Amino acid sequence: MPGGMRGRGRGGRWISSVPSVRVFAPLGQPWGRTPVIVLLLSELEAMRLVDFEGLTQEEAAHRMGVSRKTLWNDLQSARKKVAEALSKGWAIEIHQDESAVIVDRNEQKL
């Protein structure tokens, strides 16, 4: 495919928890000069399900409606971004990615 997208696009990821706060920044740093790392909502959801709720990767993948490999990729990306931001004193902004599908607790699409 010359000039086109390669492979499959990102499939939908079911998100059951949307944070009310979307920006985290270190205290004492001027906002305009602090580097920012963008954490996708789907990456946050993967990390929340596995690291906070204690689900296995298989359970979390099922809850998000994705394969274990996709869940693992999102989880690894989230952990790396958060570790880098905390280590370097950077801000974290949470963005809703195009593949995120917000669902209620009963996993019915909203």
Domain count, the chain: 1
Asked if residues 101 and 14 have their Cβ atoms less than 8 Å apart, the reply is: yes
Domain range for 94 is 16-102
68-89 pLDDT, tens digit per residue, is 999 999 999 999 999 999 999 9
Count Cβ atoms below 10 Å from residue 82 Cβ, excluding itself: 18
CATH code of the domain containing 70: 1.10.10.10
Residue 4 within any structural domain of the chain = no
The arithmetic mean of pLDDT across residues 58-64, rounded, is: 96
Question: What phi and psi, each to the nearest 5 degrees, are found at residue 62?
Answer: -60, -45
pTM: 0.82
Domain assignment present for residue 39? The answer is yes
Task: Return the beta strands (E) in the chain as ranges.
Answer: 13-15, 23-24, 36-40, 91-95, 100-102
